[in-house]
Every structure is written in structure tokens, then in C-alpha cells.
Structure 1
Amino acid sequence: MMDAPNGVDFIQKSKSFRPPSSYVEQSYITSADMYSEIYRASIEDPVAFWSDIADELDWVHREQTVIEGSLPDFRFFPGSQINVSLNCVDRHANNPLRRNKVAFFFEGENGETRSLTYLQLHRNVQKFANVLHNFGLAKGDVVSVYMQNLPETYIVLLACLRMGIIYNTVFAGFSPEALRERIVTSNAKAVICSNGSYRRGKVLALKETVDAALQGEHAVRHVIVFNRIADLATPMVQGRDYDYTELMRTAPATCDAVPLDCNDPGLLIFTSGTSGKPKGIVHAGGGFLLGTYAYSKYQLDLRDEDVYWNTADIGWLTAHIFVLVGGLALGVTNVIYEGAIDHPHQGRLYEIVERYQINKLFSAPTAFRMLMKYGEALAQTYDLSSIRLIASVGEPLNPEAWNWVYRVVGGGHAVINNTWGQTETGGTPLASLPGATAMKPGSCGVPFFGHSLDVVDHEGRPVKDGTPGLLIIRTPFPTLARDVFGNRNRYLQNYFEQIPGAYITGDSAIRDHDGHYWVLGRVDDVINVAGHRISTMEMESSLIQHESVVEAAVVAQPDAIKGTVPVAFVTIDNRVLPDDGLAKALQLKVIEDIGSFAKPERIHFVSVMPKTRSGKIMRRMLREVLEGSVIQGDITGLEDSDALTMLISEVQDS
């Protein structure tokens, strides 16, 4: 790999921000030296580190062995028994100081509000566990859950974890084809769904989607329907479909948790389809608990007094990592919201922060860029002074958005923690330790305890700091995916074959001289133009700085002379007319910010980007659209299936 200093100029020019002393005083890790000391010890003796984390959890039975094997065949606490539901619900409900504490504040897009204490959550989880048991579902069975962010959704998932039933959540709003593929691929025996969902003022008839998905052969024997919208017509198939509320009304209120080996499968979640056919990623239940507890504690500094809102949809693994398991395991008060966070008005996110006095906020870069588009004046009409930490994951958070969020949403006093993780990692191996490490706009922070990361060339040789390379992880960790459901060969080939003994992330990254990691995007999103390796993140960041640009995505297109050239897709403010003058101005801006070699060959003005429900732009599709070919990969993960048709039409007409 070539060192292209001009291509990483934004890293070299980055500023450092120290966390405020008022935050440091209440952080678990309070200095860079403290982080370094613990990190070094965790790499030299991972057994001791993970054993200490395990001491903070409740075990049914615990053996002495902590780690067995190595990548890709490894186990944490083999033979030890634990239950996620016991740790996320029972130990708080049985604690006199926490049992009446609010576990969830719920707010619907339609304005409905509810709350649920840990004691109430405990009772409802046990009741639904009995519902599952009465349908003959048991350890190792798979169920598909097609629900939006609701308290009932969390009750369902915690009940599955209580029984050792493997759940697979599917974004509420996915098409019948997307839902069916996941149901059939996972051999699900039951589907649990809402009858409908509110989304941008519309009602999505989810039960109708389930009925369409269940046409043809499948293993589903039961469908359990929660009637979220009382007046929505909901067809029910006799002998197959059952009403959630009626089942809960008659279910016994106590149900013992099933002791499970720490490495037993706990959840199955399909990749969003950004790189071809979606994969069913299998995570171990106990390992997932162990790791997400550690991430949530140290990367978010979650404490008893926190009111914490992670805006992620339950169909996105982030909600499982940092709310369902991590957040509940730490016993905090969580806010969950149904619908779009800018509906029915652009200030809805701010309104909720103000209402509940949320002090820790977690969302996606696309959400923060959306707030940036709505402007500073809107944010200033709300009291956001309660916010002390803002976290981000999903796509690279460009420095301009980082600085805007720091100044406007965080008031210049909140810690900004831009993290990195994947569906496969089941957590965030890179993040700031918010009370210890300096913040750098655009950086993904430093390696988490017990995780050995490196930046290498394609033969696995470490590259110099400041040089782009392939991001890998050399050590096993509890939340790392254990398999691709039904396809062990795909698991081994995709993640471990290229560099033996290491997990291959598929992402390009740079480590700077301070040991901070900058994830630039997928390896395919680092463009080689006439010998210059350019990060699409840097080009997109330059484009987004233009006052007319709302969002930008850059992809590579083959070129006979230069090898590849960058092509930009740009959405602009609806008050601005796209024309050749604007296109030339944007090209000039990239030249001024980065260099002439980074100039986009063409700029396509589009009204939509193809995105997953987690907010990731599907750049693979943009490349295929440029080629003028039929989209080859999976499209079931699209948030809006009409977006692709509109995009193709706009590119063809430009």
C-alpha cells in the first residue's frame, strides 16, 4: 500500500479536545495513563481482564477456564452457565434500590407515552416466556421478531433470551421478500410481530407483510400479534395467529430462566446487505452479555443516575448491544422511541432530550448530519444542557458534523464518542474512553481493553502509522460472531482466510501517531487514483462543507487511464437548483481541500440515496448504478425500496 500524505491531510490537521474536568471526575477511566495501563495488562493477560468483568455479572455456574482456543475457533467460559435475562432483568428487579426504577420511558411517534419499571419488566418477561413455552418453543429454536421500538419488543426478546430461544429481529417496514428470506433462511418456528407501526405519520401494516411473507413453504407454526394500533384491520389466521395481549392475560407470572452455556447461540441478526447477499450472523448469548456489558460501562460510562437514549431501531444490532443487553445489564433508565426522530417536526429529537433530561445520547452519523441540515437556530430553541455524552456509530462521522454536534448539540461541554463496530463484532472494538482519551473530530478512538487491532497490507504486514491499510483484529473477544447461520465455510472464508489468525474487518483504516484509529470505510471505498489512495470519507467531508450540500457519497468508477476515478452522488438543499455551475463549484472545493487528483470526475445530483434502515449508504449499489447493470446483490435491506428506482432514473437522465 502506498503512503499518500495528501490523502490523509485531514487527519494530520485534526485538533484534539480534552474531556471537561467535570466529566472526568465521574468517569470510570480518568486519564490516558490509566487507559494505557489497563489496556496493556488486558492484552498481556486477557484471562485476568475478562475474569474481572465476569465477576460483575451473575452466573448460574462458573468454571475456572476463561478462554479456550484461538481465532476462529474460540470459546469464553466454556462449561460455565449464565442467562442474559437474569442479568438484565432479575438482578435489578430483586434489588430493593432498583426494582421501582424506570427501565424504559417509551414515546411513540403519535405522542403516546408510557413507562415500565424493572419490576414490571420482570413480571412481563416471565409471562411471555411462559407464552413461548406453551407453544412448545425451547432452547435452540429460532423465532423471527418483526416489531418496531416498543416496550413489548424488548419484553419479547428478553423472554427469548430467558428460554434460550434464538431470536432474529427484522426491521419493521422491510418488504415481504426481505422478511421471508430471513424467516426461511433461519428456519424460524414462529413469528412475533406488531399489527402496525407509525412511521413519518403513516401507518405501516406489518401483519399484512407477515402474511405475504408466509406464502409458500416455511417452518412457521405460530404467529403472535401485538395490536399496536387498535383500529387497524388485522386479519388473523385461525389456528396459527394469536393475540399477544390475550396470551399475556392468562400466562403465569413466574418462569425460571434456563441455564445456558456461555457460548450457546443467543441471537441471529442478518447483515444489512451493503455487500451482497445478507448473512445470518450468530452471536453467543453469554459472550454477547459479557462484551456488551464491558463496552457499555467503559465507552458510555453508564451509571445508575443516567437517563440514556440510543435512537437505534431494534432491527439494528446497536440497539441490542447498547440497550437491550448493555444498557439493561447496567440498570440504567432507557428511552425508546417509535418512528422517525424528525417527525412530526424537525425538533422532535431535541424535544425528547429536553422532556426526559437525557444526559447520554447515542445515534448515527446520518442523524447528526440531518440535525446539522436543520440548522443551529432550531437547536437553540430547546434546553439541551442535560447532555454530557454523545456517541455515534454506523458510518464515518466527518469532522464538520463532529464539530457542529460538539458545539451546537453538546454545547461545547459534552464528550463526543465516535465509535466503530460491525454486525460481526457485536460491539465497538474502537471508541474513546470518554474520561481518559482526547477527542479528535472524525477519529474512532482507541482499541478497547482485550482487543488487539492492527493496520496491515493485504499480506498481513503492518503498515507505518499514517498509512492507509486493512483493519484487522488479532485477538478473540466475547462478542465476535461465532458463525454464519448454516454456512460455516462462508464464515471462515469471509473473515479469517485472507490473514490466518486474524479477524478481517474489510474496512480501511489509518492509525495516527497518537494511537488513534481513523476508519475510512470499506476497503472498496478507498479509491486509488493514479497512485494516490484517497478516502471517500475525506472527499465526502469536503463536499458536505458546501452550504448547498445535504449529503454526499463518493464511489470509484474504472478509468482506462487513471485506473479509477471518483464519482460523487450529492443531494442538495431543496431551495437550490442543481446546475453545471454548482457541479463545478463542488469540484473546485474538493481540489482546494484535498488536491487536483481528488477531483470528482462527475457529480450526480440525486434526490435520494440508497440506505439501510441503520442509515448506511449502500455504496455498492451506487457503483452498480454507474455501471448501468442490473443490481446484482441483495436489495432487501433498503429502507425505501422505491429509492433505488428513483436513483437509477435520475442518474440515467443526468
Structure 2
Amino acid sequence: MEPVWYPDPKEAQNTRLYRFMEALGFQDYEAFYRYSVEEAEDFYRQFLAHLGIPWRRPYERVVEGSFPLPRFFVGGRLNLADAVFRHPEDRLALLHETEDGQVRALTYGELRAEVARVAAGLRALGVSRGERVGLWMPMGLEAATLLLATSWLGAIAIPIFSGYAAEAAAIRLKDAEARLLAVQDGFLRRGRRVELLPEARKALALSGTERLLVVRRLGLPLEGNEADYAHLGGEALPPEEMESMDPFMLIYTSGTTGRPKGTVHYHAGFPLKAALDMALLFDLREEDRLFWFTDLGWMMGPWAILGGLILGGTVFLYDGAPDYPGPERLWRMVEAHRLTHLGLSPTLVRALIPFGEAPIKAHDLSSLRVLGSTGEPWNLDPYLWFFRTVGEERRPIVNYSGGTEISGGILGNVLLRPIKPMGFNTAVPGMKAAILDEVGRPVKGQVGELAVLAPWPGMTKGFWRDEARYLDTYFAKVPGVWVHGDFALLDEEGHYFILGRSDDTLKVAGKRVGPAEVETAALNHPALKEAAAIGVPHPVKGEAIVLFAVLKPGIAPNPELAEAVAEKVAEALGRPLKPERVLFVPDLPKTRNAKVMRRVVRAAYLGQDPGDLSALENPEAVEAIRRAARGG
């Protein structure tokens, strides 16, 4: 496949990446990348000096130890707030537009004052260093101020997806033993009120979390000892001085089995990795305005806020639907706020295509320099539509792939090399990536496992109170190597392509959820005996959930029951994760030790070769799944 975008030599020389390379004596990107992974200690020292990160106590070494549990910036002390609040106070930091068109803004000086007020208020509510605080709210000013205020105190934030129902939120709060939950009482979505406060009260009861702090966007009345965000206050205090590896955030992500896993991120990790990727891949500068259509509960929410602010740019936040009240909404905001960077998932792009080009052509997008994409693999036609219609065949799409555990990207695009459709023209500087075959050897030109061969600042410190599960997830396949769980290919020209997950994790419109979570929610329905959830291709969402269910004896399948089971999942996990189909079967294909073979279920549903079935105890279950898929 040939590239569709080529860098303009003059513009390339004006990028942050080129200027940084030039300062280090590099003219050639490939030589610079090799330096970034072969001399990682010097690379990270030089980059953080380039950013001007203000350490309270300088670090002694960038990396100490190796996989699986290295340490970073050993001996260094800082608070991530120090890295944010070092820019001119009159520079614009945050812009927020609500779905009903209200616009608010904070300069860096105003943001610092608000974060200090909120931090004092959290301390007055009993939150102290090391305690966990749930943040359940859409993207808005308060989401950013609470994330920063929690870090200011040395406490640990738990971002929660605003589309979750009470049970999904409670699982995360309970696992983290959260002291307090901060929630926005609600927001508008397609003109309708979505009330989060009642769900938050249920989550508190289910999780045992002590206290509720409410941002009253809809003005819902408070009960009991619920605290009002607007009235927070207390004795002012400076940001806590933290060790480099002290946690500031737990982001929960789902695996293929068991409960959601809390990835632990630290003050000198996630924020610095976000800033590095944003600077060297996306070329975000101080005068730029970044908008990534995401949620605080997904990695890209904190990534956009922290990376954008550390680099001194302006971060634009929006908490509504992308096509309400009409399909021009996104493009009107780009024009009105002179946005320079726009990040959309492939799912969202596919959903916008049916509206045609007219809503885009009706607006002035001349401020846009860079397009971004992450969350899932592309299909060719939507990619080319985004590049040609929005990018006008001149704006690069920075495809970006990594994950919550990475703090950003393993693979990406730099603006110094040509870009192939759907691909990545480099591993991210500092990431020693490779594609491994079935015996762990690096390969080119064939599909293999995406892996990282050396530690990097930003990698999760592990899973919250579950080291064994962390080691099993990433280091069981190839000892001493981080195996990420993606099938990928590296072509002869050095371009990477992601081909999908190598495990069972589902990605619905870019949102990761473990099949076990879906199955557990479905089994809340009393008619179900067993369930298996799989992800199948979807033209808009990228992947949709199909649930196979085994009914208890004496219960007959019917469409109403299928809908009721799907609603149980929506109630527990949120409507975005509602199964597209619920199909009833007599049994699920299992191994002799009773492990459900989701790989086989998915292949049978899609009419593909299910592979070796010798381990199955009940191979007849495969044909039953095929019949159910056909409607038989």
C-alpha cells in the first residue's frame, strides 16, 4: 500500500520533533528513533529538559531495573501540578462548551486558583494523601479541576465513564476502596437530561464509599451530607511533594476474565508520556487548541487534559453528542473555537459519513492542522473519507495505538515521514517495539504479536493490589517482554498495521470491556444459567456485542426474554455496551476443565473455521451456535 500523505519539507522543519532532533544533532528520523531506544536514559533526560519540567528534587536515573517492575526517575520528587502550572497565567488553558451551547473558559492563572480551592475543599471533606477519589462526570471544566485537585493533594483519582450505570461504577469504587465519589448531577445528551446523581447514590450504597461531592450542572437537590462543589473551600495548601512513582490515578480497564483491573499511574509517568507523545507525534504547540472527542473515564480524557496542559496549549472540552442538534455540530465548534487538533475514533467517523460532505464544507476549518485517531483499527473507506473530506488531502491523520496500561502510544505517526492509510509510520520515540512470531522472534512482513522489549516511563506500575494478574496479562507469553495483546504487521518500508486483538477483549466504539463483565451483568437475569459474550464486526461501532445464553431448565426462549437480558447488561454497564443480539443455545463450547471457548463461539457465529476442536468436551455445541446465528 502506498502513502497518501507526504510531509512538506518546510513545514516539517517547523515541527517540535524536528527542532528537538536538530538540537540533539540529528537530521535523520530513523537515526533519532534508534537513539531514543538504544540510549533511552539520555533521550528522556534531554526531552524533559527540553520541556522544562520543574523537579522539586532532581532524579538520579531515568530507569532502574527491568521488566516486569522497573522504577522511573529514581529519587525525583514533584507533583504533576508543578508541570502544569508553570505557564503564563494569562494564557488560555481550558475551553468548555456544553451541548446547549454554553461556553466557559479558564486561563492558567484562573485554573490554578480553582484547583487550589477545590483541593482545599477536598481536604476539608477528609481526603488526604494516598486516598482514592472517584470522578464520575463528562468532559468539562470540573472534570479537569477535580483531576488536578486530587493530584494536588497527593490523593488518587479514579476516572469513571459517564455512560456507566451504578453497578459498573460501584465495582470500580469498591475495588479501589474509594473514600469519596465526585459526580456531576447530570448533563444533556441529544437535548435530553441524563441524571447521574441517582445512579451515584446507588453506587455509593453498593460500594461502601463514604461521601458524595456533587457538581450541580442540572441543579438537582442534594440529600443528607452530600457536598456541593460550588461551595468547596478551606485552608489553602501548596501541592504535595510526591515521589516520582507515587500513584495519582487508577484507570480501570477490562480483560478477558475476572473483574476490571485498575492500572496504576504515577506522577512522573502518565502525564509525561502523554506530553511526549503529544509533542513528538501530534506536534502540539503552545499556541494550539486540542479537541479529542472522548470521556474522562477513558484513557484519552486524562491524556488530553494532562498532556495538553503540560505542553502549555489550550484543551477544548465538550460533553454532548457530536451530531446534535444537527450534523454540523463538530465542524461548527472547530470553526468557532479555531481548533487546531481534532481527534476522532474510527467509529465516530463511520457514523458521520452518512451525513455527507455538506455539513463540513459549510464551515471554515482552516485552523485545523492535525487530525488524530485511536481506539480501534480502521477500515479503508472511512479512513480515506476522513483524510479527503476533513483533511482535504493535506492534513495528516496521526493514527495512534497503545492503551491505558501504556499511558499513550506504542505506535503512531510522526510528521516527518509519509503516512500510509490505516497505518503507523513509526513506533513512538522511546518505545522499543517489535512484532514477534509464535516463538518470540522479531519478524517483518508477517502477522505477529505487538510487543515492547524494554521499559518506558509511563508504563503502568501494575494492577491495583493484583501483581500476579498483571504479570500473567503481559509477561506470561514471552518471559521478560511486554506482549500487548494486539496482532500487528510491520511491512518492509517500516510501517506498522494493527489487525485486531489477540485476546478476547471487546472494543465497542473504542470502549474496552471484558466479556466476563458483560456475562456477569447478563446473569443478573434469573432465567440464565450461563452466558458467553463475543465481539463481532459492526459497520459503525467497529465491534458490537453478541451474547449467547443458556437458559435454566423449563424456561423457553422468546424475543421478549432476549430483550430483557440485553437490558440487564445495559442497566449494569450502560447503554453503549448493550448487546446487539442475544441468542439462546442449549450449551456453550467448553474444554474439559469447563473453560468456555469464546474463540470458537466467535468463529462459529461468523461462519469461520473454528480451528482445533480437540480440546472441546462438547463439539456439538458449535453447530448449535451456527444454527442460532442463522436464525435456525
Give the TM-score normalised by the residue count of structure 2.
0.80
After superposition, the C-alpha distances for 1:288-341 in whole angstroms (9 at most, x for unaligned) are 2221121111111111111221111111111212x2211000010111101111
Between stretches 326-335 and 622-631, larger displacement belongs to: 622-631
Relative distance call for 1:163 and 1:636 in structure 2 (3 A) is: farther
Equivalent residues of 2:546, 2:580 under 8 A apart = no
Equivalent residues of 1:20, 1:413 under 8 A apart = no
- Find the counterpart in structure 2 of residue 227 from structure 1: 216
Equivalent residues of 2:167, 2:573 under 8 A apart = no
Relative distance call for 1:274 and 1:331 in structure 2 (3 A) is: farther
Once the two structures are TM-superposed, the CA of residue 359 in structure 1 deviates from its matched residue by 1.4
1:86 equivalent to 2:79? Answer: no
- Find the counterpart in structure 2 of residue 65 from structure 1: 61
Distance across 1 between alignment mates of 2:435 and 2:296: 32
State the secondary structure of the residue aligned to 2:213: strand
Relative distance call for 1:150 and 1:203 in structure 2 (3 A) is: same
After superposition, the C-alpha distances for 1:132-174 in whole angstroms (9 at most, x for unaligned) are 2122222211111111111011101101111111110111131
Once the two structures are TM-superposed, the CA of residue 498 in structure 1 deviates from its matched residue by 1.4
Equivalent residues of 1:173, 1:204 under 8 A apart = no
Pick aligned residue for 2:285 from 286, 297, 303: 303
- Find the counterpart in structure 1 of residue 154 from structure 2: 164
| Structure 1, unpaired ranges of 5+ | 1-12, 93-97, 527-565, 572-608, 610-614
Once the two structures are TM-superposed, the CA of residue 377 in structure 1 deviates from its matched residue by 2.3
Once the two structures are TM-superposed, the CA of residue 35 in structure 1 deviates from its matched residue by 1.8
Distance across 2 between alignment mates of 1:387 and 1:199: 26
Distance across 1 between alignment mates of 2:227 and 2:179: 14
Distance across 2 between alignment mates of 1:122 and 1:106: 16
- Find the counterpart in structure 2 of residue 245 from structure 1: 230
Once the two structures are TM-superposed, the CA of residue 255 in structure 1 deviates from its matched residue by 2.5
After superposition, the C-alpha distances for 1:402-427 in whole angstroms (9 at most, x for unaligned) are 21111110112211111111111110
Pick aligned residue for 1:644 from 579, 583, 595: 579
After superposition, the C-alpha distances for 1:85-120 in whole angstroms (9 at most, x for unaligned) are 1111x212xxxxx21111111100111111111110
Equivalent residues of 1:450, 1:475 under 8 A apart = no
Q: Which amino acid aligns with 1:91?
A: R
Relative distance call for 1:202 and 1:191 in structure 2 (3 A) is: same
- Find the counterpart in structure 2 of residue 450 from structure 1: 430
1:365 equivalent to 2:346? Answer: yes
Relative distance call for 1:417 and 1:217 in structure 2 (3 A) is: closer
Once the two structures are TM-superposed, the CA of residue 446 in structure 1 deviates from its matched residue by 0.8
Once the two structures are TM-superposed, the CA of residue 636 in structure 1 deviates from its matched residue by 8.1
Once the two structures are TM-superposed, the CA of residue 217 in structure 1 deviates from its matched residue by 5.7
State the secondary structure of the residue aligned to 1:644: coil
| Structure 2, unpaired ranges of 5+ | 506-533, 552-556, 585-627
Relative distance call for 1:517 and 1:101 in structure 2 (3 A) is: same
Relative distance call for 1:475 and 1:314 in structure 2 (3 A) is: same
1:482-631 → structure 2 map (5 Å cutoff): 482-524=461-503, 570=538, 617=543, 621-622=545-546, 624=548
Task: Count residues with an aligned counterpart.
Answer: 542
State the secondary structure of the residue aligned to 1:500: coil
Distance across 2 between alignment mates of 1:77 and 1:525: 35
Between stretches 26-35 and 167-176, larger displacement belongs to: 26-35
Distance across 2 between alignment mates of 1:636 and 1:328: 35
State the secondary structure of the residue aligned to 2:269: helix
Once the two structures are TM-superposed, the CA of residue 14 in structure 1 deviates from its matched residue by 3.8
Once the two structures are TM-superposed, the CA of residue 441 in structure 1 deviates from its matched residue by 0.4
Distance across 2 between alignment mates of 1:146 and 1:154: 12
- Find the counterpart in structure 1 of residue 620 from structure 2: none
1:236 equivalent to 2:223? Answer: yes
Relative distance call for 1:626 and 1:316 in structure 2 (3 A) is: farther
Distance across 2 between alignment mates of 1:425 and 1:256: 30
Once the two structures are TM-superposed, the CA of residue 651 in structure 1 deviates from its matched residue by 6.1
Distance across 1 between alignment mates of 2:358 and 2:255: 37
Once the two structures are TM-superposed, the CA of residue 491 in structure 1 deviates from its matched residue by 0.4
- Find the counterpart in structure 2 of residue 347 from structure 1: 328
Distance across 2 between alignment mates of 1:185 and 1:199: 29
1:123-134 → structure 2 map (5 Å cutoff): 123-134=113-124
Superposition RMSD in Å: 2.8
- Find the counterpart in structure 2 of residue 139 from structure 1: 129
1:202 equivalent to 2:137? Answer: no
Q: Which amino acid aligns with 2:38?
A: E
Equivalent residues of 1:451, 1:475 under 8 A apart = yes
Once the two structures are TM-superposed, the CA of residue 251 in structure 1 deviates from its matched residue by 3.4
Equivalent residues of 1:276, 1:634 under 8 A apart = no
Once the two structures are TM-superposed, the CA of residue 33 in structure 1 deviates from its matched residue by 5.6
After superposition, the C-alpha distances for 1:266-306 in whole angstroms (9 at most, x for unaligned) are 11011156766321111122112221121111111111111
Q: Which amino acid aligns with 1:20?
A: D
Relative distance call for 1:264 and 1:635 in structure 2 (3 A) is: farther
- Find the counterpart in structure 1 of residue 262 from structure 2: 280
Q: Which amino acid aligns with 2:54?
A: D
Once the two structures are TM-superposed, the CA of residue 458 in structure 1 deviates from its matched residue by 2.8
> Which structure would you say has the larger RCO, counting Cα contacts within 8 Å and 6 or more residues apart?
1
- Find the counterpart in structure 1 of residue 619 from structure 2: none
Distance across 2 between alignment mates of 1:163 and 1:568: 43
Distance across 1 between alignment mates of 2:256 and 2:11: 37
State the secondary structure of the residue aligned to 1:269: strand
- Find the counterpart in structure 2 of residue 428 from structure 1: 409
Once the two structures are TM-superposed, the CA of residue 365 in structure 1 deviates from its matched residue by 1.2
Identity %: 30
- Find the counterpart in structure 2 of residue 399 from structure 1: 380
Distance across 1 between alignment mates of 2:580 and 2:500: 25
Distance across 2 between alignment mates of 1:635 and 1:74: 39
Between stretches 635-644 and 33-42, larger displacement belongs to: 635-644
